[in-house]
Structures are given as structure tokens and as C-alpha cells.
Amino acid sequence: MEFSITVLPGDGVGPEITAEGAKALKAIGERFHHEFKFRNGSIGAAAFERLGEALPQETIDLCKNSDAVLFGAVGDPKYEQPGLKSRPELGYGIIRLRKTFGLFANLRPVRLFPSLVNSTNFKPEVVEGVDIIIVRELTGGLYFAEPKQLFRSPEGRRSVDTLAYSEDEIRRIVRVGFELAGSRKKKLTSVDKFQILRSSDLWREIAMEVASEYPDVEPEYILVDNCAMRLIQHPTDFDVIVTENLFGDILSDEASMLAGSLGMMPSASLSGIPKVGGKLFGLYEPIHGSAPRRAGLNMANPIATILSAAMMLRYSFGLIEEAKRIEDTVNQVLEEGYRTYDIMSEGKSKLGTREMGDLIASRILQGSSKT
């Protein structure tokens, strides 16, 4: 089979990690006789410096003519200073890209590989068996609603951000959570700030309505601060968590420590409800940032990007066996004791970005070829 993939390396370590994600996909193509056609596009500070905008039209057009997008990271410290007259737009283009393609459902798996159980900051008995999916609403809330403005006047400075959600926006993301929960352990946790935020009152009301459509799934409704605490105390209590944009962003970064590192956290941003064997357009990326201090040092952990490529195979291309091959290979490499700096522990073999990518690709290719 043939698939077209737009690669958006972006800034910082983005070019390094997307190269390793593409390398894993090429190995899958060779092993399973698929052809992946890669086309690179510009986004972020790199695009801003070359073309004067963080998300140029040529990049949007590339994405429109692709089956999926593999994204790296955006962000450059020189543009993150207050008061600059010239800077990339909010979110360095990635926020607008999500909105342009209606990528409202962000799936962030939090899985602790068994060989890393002693490599986190938690007691092994607390984190052993952690396997969570955080479903984050991605195109609404504080990140998008207007007005959004910083006011400067002789009387002083003030700012405003608007948190707005429609019934349809909430209903569709909550339904994604229930669909995923129905295919897993049949437990869904809806996270809000009920009775404080009016948007959360609406969120809970609609979540409870959607729950009636899924009698086989056990729903739970909790406040975001309680969820943040329980993720640390009893993380294995959770299966699928669904929440709004800002809460999902924060909670998933917190939850990354349960998996050992941000470098172990993949994600998929989808335009609909994911189905086994389905073919949804999506954008796939690690949840970590551009890490400019690590750029060019061959240090960044590429595993989150490689696992994002596995999610691409599963949700955009319907290639379940191939996705599992990547995931099993990552597990095998970790079991063999190979690590990048962020998940390094005593007695293990430390690899750089390229070396980890090479090892995973070579292990994908081991064994008999599929026909």
C-alpha cells in the first residue's frame, strides 16, 4: 500500500526526532511492503525566518494533499521575549494548523513500559501497570476563544483570555472518550472545574448526557485539582481521561512522569472518533517541546516520535499489525537495556538520538518479511 506523509520538523530538536520517526516508518514499509512517501514542510520559527509567517500557505497545501502529518516541535527562545515587535503568531503556527484541519481530538497515551518501572521518580508499586489515555479537546477553550488581548495604557496593563465552549464541541470530544473507554477497561473519567467555571458546568451536564448512551462504560466526574492529585497518588485507578484544552495540556505533562519522561509520550490529533482499522486524517507528534538547549547534540529521546508514528499507522492508515510491530520493538529495545539520557539508569547502555532510531529500525526489520 502507498501512503503520503507530510513531515513538519519545526524548530529545536524537531528535525532530529522526526528523522527517526520517518526512519521507523521506512523500516515498517520495507518489512510489510508498504510505500511511504515523505514531503517536508516548514512551520514555526524556521518558517517565520524564511517566509515571514509561522504557518505558510504552502505548508497547509502540503498537509491537505497528504494522508497524515508527522510533526516535530516549534519554539525558539529568541522569539519568546515580551515586547518584541516582530515574532511568530501565537503557537508558532501549530495551533492554527490544528484548527484548519479540525483536529479536535488529541489522544495522549500514558504507558509505563515494564522495563522502566524502576526509572521513574515513583515507587514501583505505585506506577507498575500504568496504562492511561488522556483525551484532550484541542480546538476550543482558552487557546482559541475571543477576546484574547493584552492591553497597555498609561493607567496600567491588563489582559483578557476567554474560555468558551459550545455544546457540540463538548459532546463530540466526550464521545471520543466514551468510544475509547468502551474498547478498553470500560471506565471513563471526565475532568472539569464544576461550580467554579460556567464552561465546566456545561461540560459536566453534557458529559452526563453522553454517558447515558454508553451503559457499559462506568463514568466518573472529578475536579481537575483532584485529578492532578490522584494521578500521583493512585495512577492505576485511571483508564481513559477526557477533559478540555488547558486541563488536558497540563495533566498530560504531569502524567508524562508516570511514563518516565516527556520523551516517552506520543500523541495523535484527529478529526473524528478513532476506530480500529479506520483511516482518519491526523497529525502525530511527541508532546514535548523543541528543547532548544538539546538541539544538534544528538541527545533528544526519539521514542515519543516513533510511538507517534505507530499511532499514525493505527489511526490514519488502518495498519494494526504494523503499529504493534513498532510498539513491541520499542519494548524489546528497552528490555535489552538501551536508554537515552532522559530515561537513563545505572547499568544501562546510553544511546543518542540517531543511535536509538537506528537500533529500533534494525529491530523492526529482524525476522521474516511479511507478504
Catalytic residues: 143, 193, 225, 249, 253
User: What SS3 state is found at 49?
Assistant: helix
Measured at the alpha carbon of residue 269, what is the angle toward residues 64 and 331, in degrees to the nearest 5? Answer: 120
Question: Residue 69 is inside which H or E element, if any?
Answer: strand 68-73
- Is the separation of the CB atoms in 135 and 248 below 8 Å? yes
Task: Report the candidate in 258, 251, 207 with the shortest Cα–Cα distance to residue 227.
Answer: 251
Q: What's the rounded Cα separation, in Å, for the pair 281 and 336?
A: 34
> With 0-12 CB in 10 A as exposed, 13-18 as middle and 19+ as buried, what is 92?
buried
Cell numbers standing for residue 60? 497547509
Q: What's the rounded Cα separation, in Å, for the pair 237 and 116?
A: 19
Strands lying side by side in the sheet with 268-270: 35-40, 2-10, 68-73, 282-284, 268-270, 105-111, 131-137, 240-243, 187-192, 218-223
Q: What's the rounded Cα separation, in Å, for the pair 357 and 355?
A: 5
